[in-house]
Amino acid sequence: MKERGEEMKFLEYAGIDAINSALVFETPECKVYGRVEPYSCKAAGADKKLYKQIEIKYDPSNSPPDSTDGPSSSFRNIISPFGPLDQPASRRTLFYLIGTLNASFPDYDFSDAKPEQFRKEPSVSMVVNSVNSTLLNHGNDRAVKELRIWDSIDNLIDFEDSDVYSYNPESDSDPNDEEGGGTLWSFNYFFFNRKLKRIIYFTMRGVSYGAPCEDGDEDDFSDLSDDDVGFASHRRKSYRYDDYVAGEMDMM
């Protein structure tokens, strides 16, 4: 596999603002902030460092043949959610998911995210049903029934050829808990299509009404139109409305 950097670039999609607008709403119990965004990766130096870090850490060829304590020796036989980490394809998948998180949360560095913090979900349909249940249970049937968000996402990623991974960070490395706190529940899903070379990152969280705001981020969306909410939630990355991403990548 040729070493090169990857830089995430937002991929414009006509219906994304309406979807993201519908995924920011209030319930009697909490405020809900969700996001789906497309990204494209271009060759650049920004993520080359990340790629090298992952290769050094997990590629067994970086340890001497007889080494038992080299940087990669303990990972040679580990079966990660992506497959054995001594396989380039498995490490590449980890690289893409971490790269997506770095693009989604530009003020954070996920280089140390561990493979065990990710999980391969049993099927796309189970994830779709789980997200639908969350939306419907919180009174948001518009996103599912009117906007038909899954049709739009399927057009971008093609569910038939996609795997789904989830990300479950430790509390001390979860930006949702650091950026104002008050998170009651959350999910982070990556829809990954190797053939199309795309990743869709779909995430949502419920925040208690008593959660503090970030300093200098005291305003809210109360005076904005639906279109403005969609735009604001897209532009205001790494603040209390968080950075929920979907992505397209050129694979190495």
What's the rounded Cα separation, in Å, for the pair 198 and 196? 5
- Domains of the chain, with CATH numbers? 9-44+94-208 (3.40.1000.50)
pLDDT per residue as tens digits for the range 84-126: 998 998 998 898 899 889 888 888 889 999 999 999 999 999 9
- What distance lies between CA 32 and its chain's CA centroid? 17
pLDDT at 45 over 90: no
Q: Characterize the bridge pairing of strands 183-193 and 163-167.
A: antiparallel
b/e per residue 187-199 (b: at least 16 CB within 10 A): bbbbbbbbeebbb
pLDDT at 176 over 90: no
> So what's the pLDDT on residue 244?
30
